[in-house]
Every structure is written in structure tokens, then in C-alpha cells.
Amino acid sequence: MLGICRGRRKFLAASLTLLCIPAITWIYLFSGSFEDGKPVSLSPLDSQAHSPRYTASSQRERESLEVRVREVEEENRALRRQLSLAQGRSPGYHRGNHSKTYSMEEGTGDSENLRAGIVAGNSSECGQQPVVEKCETIHVAIVCAGYNASRDVVTLVKSVLFHRRNPLHFHLIADSIAEQILATLFQTWMVPAVRVDFYNADELKSEVSWIPNKHYSGIYGLMKLVLTKTLPSNLERVIVLDTDITFATDIAELWAVFHKFKGQQVLGLVENQSDWYLGNLWKNHRPWPALGRGYNTGVILLLLDKLRKMKWEQMWRLTAERELMGMLSTSLADQDIFNAVIKQNPFLVYQLPCFWNVQLSDHTRSEQCYRDVSDLKVIHWNSPKKLRVKNKHVEFFRNLYLTFLEYDGNLLRRELFGCPSEADVNSENVTDTLKATEANRRRGPGTRKKVRSKRINLEGNTHAQEINVSQLPV
């Protein structure tokens, strides 16, 4: 017990000694640094500084340092001026009504897996962004036939017009039913800076009727394959949409992606968001050939001028003939043939970020395409169940669709300030043409060609009825 107490006293004494030594040293140094009440430098350099030789050297170094500091400050000011000038010239710079708009997110540009496409698609670039000029016309092509498809197109068009800030030119490949419905609708809405061309879908049936198709869209689901031949030869690019699409953003953002195409990329597509083309959905499932998961053709960016130079018509026909020898028919209409062509020529495709085509089909993995509803840009109801499809966010998607379904198209009649309205050469005859078309339908098919001859012959036997909506009477 006595030994323990002695050990504790020794430990306590040693601790006090260790604590006192630094304190005593600090007091000594502090008191020694004053001489006659004035501080005295302890540094040998400071003691040398009072010598004449050191004073002159120190003065030169100080002056040299001051000169260098002034030079650095001048360089910084020059750099700031350059940055301000560069920002003033940048495409994203806004100035009144002459601004350019719509910086874009980067897509993957290749056939990576779905998750890689999501990550790359939802990340934004810090570099120079592609833009769309304020008054640049955006071209949109849609294949439409029948009453149900016409109703879907009306909802699609309203969602596009609601968000748009650019002039639009719709190219509608339609049968007689859809043409009558949509022409009357556009005439009633009278939306400024919107032009509509109709192309007779019935005259295109012979181009694709030789392809057996099991898809519910029927023969009209194959007509996107012949757009290079159907649309005007001077049209260089177009956005192609399915009828069951709903836009949640300005379509100009999608149009801007054309600027990202490189080399021989002529097709902009989103990767398919189901395992259909992987062939593992059920036993003995045998899909058409595709690159990885394949691509969905509900939203397509087409570089028409390059496709024509590549002889697209010959390319897809040869591919379809070869594959049909083993597959016998298509299951997903034009999508199967597009994917078969891409499988043989992967350099043709630019992979879009998947939020440009959020697919609500059966077996979909579209939930991985967005982290928040603000990420959504295009919703695709590509299931036969349509609004009844199962999805954990289907209520949000359904409400968005129903909003545009019930939206009054007359409320979309707003001017695009600063954009000149182009006069349509046929605008004066639009009303007469519509009346003649209606009278022609009552008389029967015998006189149909007489009315058709008044329309513009764009290429071959394909005709268009041009309507400048901004100049149509009520």
C-alpha cells in the first residue's frame, strides 16, 4: 500500500515538472524579447536587417516583389475582360428578343447499357451547348390513320404546342378520316406560326404491304420506313413521333440534339426499355435481331438528306427481305426493321438520353430513366393497355395525359413575337380546297383525282395539302 502511494507521488511530481518547463521557457523568452520596454527581435535575420548592406538588398527585393504583384494583378484584370467578352458572345447569352435558347443534356451517342445511358443522359455539360435559333422552324412527322389515332394525335399536338416557342411544321401522313378530322381541327384552332401538310397514307400502302406485320398498328405502323421518299426532297431533318406520345417539355430541346450528330450518325433513338430484344421474356421467344436491347422508334430524329445519300430505301428493303425469310413477319412493325438495319450498321445511330422516350410498355424498366418528375421530357404509352398500363407512377403520367386531352386548343393561340409569318402560296385557296374535298367525298371515289390535282405534288404519287393555320378563317 505504501509502495503504491509513493508511486503515485512520483508520477504526480513528474507531471508537474513537465507542465512547468514549457511555462518557464515561455516566460523567459517573452521577458527577454523586451529591452527598455521595447520589443527586441530574436531572429538573426532581423538583426542583419539593420546593416546597410542588408537594407539595400531588402529594398531591391521589396521593389521587385511589388512590380511582380502589379503584373499579376494586371494579368488577372485582362483575363476577366476576356471572360466577360467570351460570355457576351456565347450561344447561351440572352439579349432581348434576339437570344438563342435551349442548352442540351448530353446523350451517350452509342449502344451502352440502359443504366449508362441514364447516367450520361441526365448529366449536363459545362462546355459549349448546341442551341436552336429563336425563329427556326421545327419539322415534325406523324403517321395517323383512323378515329382513335386521330384522337391521340390531337392530344400529342396540344402537348407540343403548349410548350413550344418556335414555329412548327407538321407533316401528317394520314388516311381520309384522319385528314378530315385534323384539318378541321387546325382550321378551328388558328394557331399562329404553325403549318400543316397532309400526305395520303393510302397511296403509300403499296410500299410496305408486302411486309407481314403482327403489330396492332397494322400496315400504318410500317410507313415510317418510307419517310425519306414521302417527305419533300428539300427537307433535311425531321422529328418522327408515334401518336401515343405526350410531351412534357419544349420540342426545341429535342430538335437541338441534331447538332450532336457526328460522322455517319443519321438516326437519333432511345434504347428500348424492356427485355424484348434480349429474347428472355418467355420460353422460345425469338425476336428480330437488334444491337443489345435494341432501340424504340416511338421518337426518331431523322437526317433525311444523309439517309437519301446512303440509299436508305434500298438498305431497309434488303434487310427486311433477308430477315423475313426466317422470321416470317414483324412483331413490332417498323421497329423490328430499324433494329435489324442498326444491327448491321451500328454507326448509323446516335443514342438519345432515355428521358426523351420514357416507355410505359409491359415489362418496362423506364423507372430507371428519371430520378424526379422534372427529369421527364417525353412519355410514350407504347402498351396496348395505354392508360391502364401498370406503373408505380402511372397516376402522374395519366393526369398529365388527361390534362392535354381536355385542354382547349383555342388557348394555344399565342403569337411568337419577333418571328415573321411566312405567307403560304395556297392560303387563299385553303377554304375552297376543304369544301371541294368534302364535296368530293360525298360524290364518291370517282372524282377524287380531280381534287387531288389541285394539291402540290411533292414526289412521285405522294401529294400534300398545305394549310397555313395562322391565316385560316374561323
pLDDT at position 417? 76
pLDDT at position 360? 82
CB atoms within 10 A of CB 352: 29
**Lowest-pLDDT range of 164-173, 301-310, 373-382:** 373-382
Q: How confident is the model at residue 131 (pLDDT cuts 50, 70, 90)?
A: confident
Q: Quick check: 163 pLDDT over 90?
A: yes
Q: Quick check: 127 pLDDT over 80?
A: no
Sign of CA dihedral 174, 242, 196, 352: negative
Cell numbers that stand for 376 in this block:
421527364
Q: In what order do the strands lie in the sheet with 378-380?
A: 245-247, 378-380, 358-359
CA dihedral 342, 345, 346, 352 (to 10 degrees): -50
**Lowest-pLDDT range of 57-66, 139-148, 202-211, 425-434:** 425-434
pLDDT at position 45? 42
Q: Quick check: 468 pLDDT over 70?
A: no
**DSSP state letter for 213:** B
Mean pLDDT over 89-99 rounds to 37
**DSSP state letter for 29:** H
Q: Quick check: 356 pLDDT over 90?
A: yes
The better pLDDT of the pair 404, 124 is held by 404
367, 389 contact by CB (below 8 A):
no
pLDDT at position 178? 96
Nearest in space to 122 (alpha carbons), one of 422, 353, 465, 421: 353
The better pLDDT of the pair 105, 62 is held by 62
Give me the DSSP letters along 344-391: H-GGGEEEEPGGGSEE--TT--GGGG-SSGGG--EEE--STTGGG---
Q: Quick check: 418 pLDDT over 60?
A: yes
355, 122 contact by CB (below 8 A):
yes
Q: How confident is the model at residue 59 (pLDDT cuts 50, 70, 90)?
A: confident
341, 316 contact by CB (below 8 A):
yes
Domains of the chain plus CATH, in order, are 114-471 (3.90.550.10)
Q: How confident is the model at residue 236 (pLDDT cuts 50, 70, 90)?
A: very high
pLDDT at position 44? 42
Q: How confident is the model at residue 274 (pLDDT cuts 50, 70, 90)?
A: confident
Q: How confident is the model at residue 262 (pLDDT cuts 50, 70, 90)?
A: very high
Task: Please provide the average confidence, as pLDDT, over all residues in the chain.
Answer: 74
Q: Quick check: 191 pLDDT over 90?
A: yes
Burial class of residue 464 (count of CB atoms within 10 Å of its CB; 0-12, 13-18, 19+): buried
The better pLDDT of the pair 414, 104 is held by 414
